[in-house]
Amino acid sequence: MTFARDLAERKARLLAVSDAVVVMHGGVGTLDEALEVLELRKHGLYDEPVVLLNTAGSHDGLILQLRRMDEQGFLPLPLAELVFVADTAAGALAYLEKSVGTDGEIVTARLPA
């Protein structure tokens, strides 16, 4: 997990250093990043796993919209190929361990305040 000072810095660094993206509950910036990653996946420019962590239904509206887009043919790939939806952190971690493996470590990088 990498913490950044602002959205521009976070977006600039996000994909270059990630083995996967987990979208957690957040605000408009989080939504912007999530949609950007899905757009890149759609065009084959980001091939790593993307997980939408839907804790307590926090992303229900987004999931509903994505499903509608999928059903109506507005996604070039099936929704399941763009993003994995997990209702729990344990479910997200299990999916990621299966997709990218684990070396037994969780590394957290923090930027100075």
Contact 86, 52 (CB under 8 A): yes
Give the tens place of pLDDT for each residue, 20-72. 889 999 889 889 889 988 988 888 888 899 999 999 999 999 999 999 999 99
What is the per-residue pLDDT for 19?
83
What is the per-residue pLDDT for 64?
97
What is the per-residue pLDDT for 102?
65
**How is domain 19-100 classified at the CATH fold level?**
Rossmann fold (3.40.50)
Q: What is the band of 12 on the pLDDT scale with cuts at 50, 70, 90? A: low
Higher local confidence (pLDDT), 16 or 55: 55
Q: What is the band of 1 on the pLDDT scale with cuts at 50, 70, 90? A: low
Cα distance between residue 18 and residue 88, in whole Å: 21
Sequence ranges of the domains in the chain = 19-100
